[in-house]
Amino acid sequence: MKIGLRHIRYFLVLVEELNFRRASEHLHISQPALTRTIQHLEAELQVTLFERSQNFVRLTDAGRAFRDGGRRVVNGMEATIDLTRRVSIGEAGALRVGYTDFAIADALPELLKRFHQKHPGITVRPHHGVTTSQLQELRDDKLDIGFVTGPVRQPGFQSRVVQTDRPICIVPEGHRLASRTSIVLADLADEDFVHGPADAWAHFYDYLFPLCRRAGFQPRIVQEAFNSVGILGLVSCGMGITILTESIYDFATGGLVPLPIRDISDVMVTEAIWASENLRLPTQHFVDFLEQLDKK
């Protein structure tokens, strides 16, 4: 015979009552049934849990230890059952969200905050990553939703624009262009650029390079940093200039000058992307949430 949750539940009620008959009534069973269940429990444990006499029933030291542990077990079981049910109806769960520097600097924080208000049981697990790595993680089912630099067209996946940014040029204080109020792209033809590695930042380059080519030059990238904070850092110590978005510039600590670029009309888009089929419930909730944003 093995110890089951039934034994523990009966035991805990008896601990409260310290009287077999009253405890058995509370449990809606007969008194002999309770007596035998406690006997079986003690036999299986090889431990006396109660001192009994006709006058009193009281816990032994070992009984107290079993009471404390038993309560934890029963509470843990109830919590587990509750959580499992909530997960099964999508009221609880985890959502793995990928994001780029561009997304986290602008729309994403507010978006996640509102999603959390609507679905407080769903834990958002943020995964930082560039567009290419997020797309791979989506295909590998390591990620539920990606926030990536668009436009992306991935077979089996759907996407939706959540953010548009007009790129700006960022130069260090004291730079020859720092006193200008705005520029055109051609002004940057002979500048040194600071940016991210070509493989990781491929999607941003796909957006930026054609614009420069149209303006008649190929940007000369002389320094690479692994994220936008690093890029801004290198710019501020005079290693070169860069083109990023205004929201990212807002994170800079100083020593930098933002310059609007008059002849860029194309915006840079950040898209949410997710699998078109077999969505997990938290993902489905997030997609519904994104779609409701349009209606409001």
Partner DNA sequence: CTTCATGATACCTTTTATGCATCAAAAACT
Partner DNA sequence: AGTTTTTGATGCATAAAAGGTATCATGAAG
What is the spatial distance between Cα 126 and Cα 289, in angstroms, rounded to a whole number?
17
- Residue from the set 22, 116, 142, 180 that interacts with DNA by CB under 7 A: 22
Contact region with DNA (CB under 7 A), list: 27-35, 172-180, 215-223, 234-242: 27-35
Decide which of a second copy, DNA, none touches 52; Cβ closer than 5 to 8 Å per partner kind: DNA
Q: How far is the CB of 10 from a second copy (least distance, A)?
A: 12
What is the spatial distance between Cα 235 and Cα 222, in angstroms, rounded to a whole number?
11
Cβ proximity to a second copy, 102 vs 274, nearer residue: 274
Cβ proximity to a second copy, 79 vs 222, nearer residue: 79
**The token pair that represents 11 in the structure block:** 């035991």
Decide which of a second copy, DNA, none touches 70; Cβ closer than 5 to 8 Å per partner kind: a second copy
Interface with DNA, residue 29, by CB under 7 A: yes
What is the spatial distance between Cα 27 and Cα 41, in angstroms, rounded to a whole number?
17
Decide which of a second copy, DNA, none touches 93; Cβ closer than 5 to 8 Å per partner kind: a second copy
Q: Which residue in 271, 230, 254 sits closest to 108, CA to CA?
A: 271
Interface with DNA, residue 38, by CB under 7 A: yes
Which stretches within the chain are classed as H helix? 5-17, 20-26, 31-45, 61-88, 101-104, 108-118, 131-139, 202-214, 228-236, 246-249, 281-295
**What phi and psi values does residue 86 have, to the nearest 5 degrees?**
-65, -40
Interface with DNA, residue 61, by CB under 7 A: no
What is the spatial distance between Cα 229 and Cα 170, in angstroms, rounded to a whole number?
13
Q: Which residue in 258, 290, 276, 243 sits closest to 102, CA to CA?
A: 243
Interface with DNA, residue 26, by CB under 7 A: no
Tokens 């692994």 found at? 226
Binding stretches for a second copy (CB under 8 A)? 2-6, 45-49, 60-62, 64-66, 68-70, 72-73, 76-77, 79-81, 83-85, 87-88, 92-93, 280-281
Contact 270, 149 (CB under 8 A): yes
Q: How far is the CB of 108 from DNA (least distance, A)?
A: 41
What is the spatial distance between Cα 86 and Cα 80, in angstroms, rounded to a whole number?
10
Q: How far is the CB of 5 from a second copy (least distance, A)?
A: 5
Tokens 């796909």 found at? 206
Cβ proximity to DNA, 35 vs 227, nearer residue: 35
Interface with DNA, residue 57, by CB under 7 A: yes
Decide which of DNA, a second copy, none touches 40; Cβ closer than 5 to 8 Å per partner kind: DNA
Interface positions with DNA (CB under 7 A):
1, 4, 6, 18-22, 24, 28-33, 35-40, 52-55, 57
